[in-house]
Amino acid sequence: EPATKRQFRIWRGDETGGDLQDYLVEVNEGEVVLDVIHRLQSTDAPDLACRWNCKAGKCGSCSVEINGKPKLACMTRMSTFTEDETISVTPLRTFPIVRDLVTDVSFNYEKARETPAFAPPPGVTPGDYRMQQVDVERSQEFRKCIECFLCQTVCHVIRDHEENKPAFAGPRYFIRAAELDMHPLDTRDDRKEYAQAEQGLGYCNITKCCTEVCPEHIKITDNGIIPMKERVVDRKYDPLVWLGSKIFRR
């Protein structure tokens, strides 16, 4: 298969501003968008900034928006576009620009720090963490997260609403809370209430955009967010559940 030339439109600029620039680039069979970015860096755009590391969909570094959809550049095959399509590559919209395709994702690290850490019972050391497979299964799915923050950039609660950021941790941290809530050795029994009161779980209206973009196919909404919400609702508004929790708590 001979190389073909394809039309790309890439956002160039920094925190002071920028715009889309057109490039006609060689593309070979089997390539992904990140290959094309690397070719541009070695030809027409040597100073094009882009973050990447593993080129195998495992480090979560190469997150960008391709034709407006949040994606990993290393996992987006050129064969998924039509020959005559112009392919736009822009930085993650929800985070501040550093330069070109690189954004400042520190919002996510702040939210990670604010999420209360795993709280094992006192006196239990890491070697004592013996659990049955059946007890860890529910939370195991969430541990596949590669922290690409595609779910964070797509969520409409913060995508165009800078003002919601202080009060909203985002889907990645809702599944972190859910993971700890389902962890058999975690002693905090207020993960759901905390998610509601401090992490902004109530802002989520279950649009499921986060689940659609997750490259690890984690069922963020159905398996993480909804069970957290349901149980908050159960305890708060269901008088029987509330009564039960009072009577049977020892």
Which residues sit at the interface with ligand FES, rule CB under 6 A?
52-55, 57-62, 72, 74
Q: Are strands 87-90 and 63-66 parallel, antiparallel or unpaired?
A: antiparallel
Q: Does 95 bind ligand SF4 (CB under 6 A)?
A: no
Determine the Cα–Cα distance for residues 224 and 167; give it in Å rounded to an integer.
19
- Give CA angle at 114 (116, 179), nearest 5°: 45
Q: How far is the CB of 14 from ligand FES (least distance, A)?
A: 22
Q: Does 149 bind ligand SF4 (CB under 6 A)?
A: yes
The two three-digit tokens of residue 128, written as one number: 């004592």
Determine the Cα–Cα distance for residues 23 and 162; give it in Å rounded to an integer.
32
74 neighbors 54 (Cβ within 8 angstroms) = yes
Q: Which is nearer to ligand F3S, 62 or 178 (CB)?
A: 178
Which of ligand F3S, ligand FES, ligand SF4, none interacts with 54 (beta carbon under 5 to 8 A by kind)? ligand FES
- Those residues whose C-beta lies under 8 Å from the C-beta of residue 167, and which sit 6 or more positions away, are 200, 203
Determine the Cα–Cα distance for residues 112 and 65; give it in Å rounded to an integer.
23
Partners of residue 72 on adjacent β-strands: 63
Q: Which is nearer to ligand F3S, 101 or 209 (CB)?
A: 209
Stretch that binds ligand F3S, among 41-49, 104-112, 205-213, 227-235 (CB under 6 A): 205-213
Q: Does 221 bind ligand F3S (CB under 6 A)?
A: yes
> If you ran DSSP here, which 8-state letter would residue 28 be given?
-
Stretch that binds ligand F3S, among 5-13, 115-123, 191-199, 204-212 (CB under 6 A): 204-212
Which residues of the shown chain bind ligand F3S in the complex (CB under 6 A)? 154-155, 157, 171, 204-210, 221, 225
Which residues of the shown chain bind ligand SF4 in the complex (CB under 6 A)? 145-151, 172, 175, 213-216, 218, 220
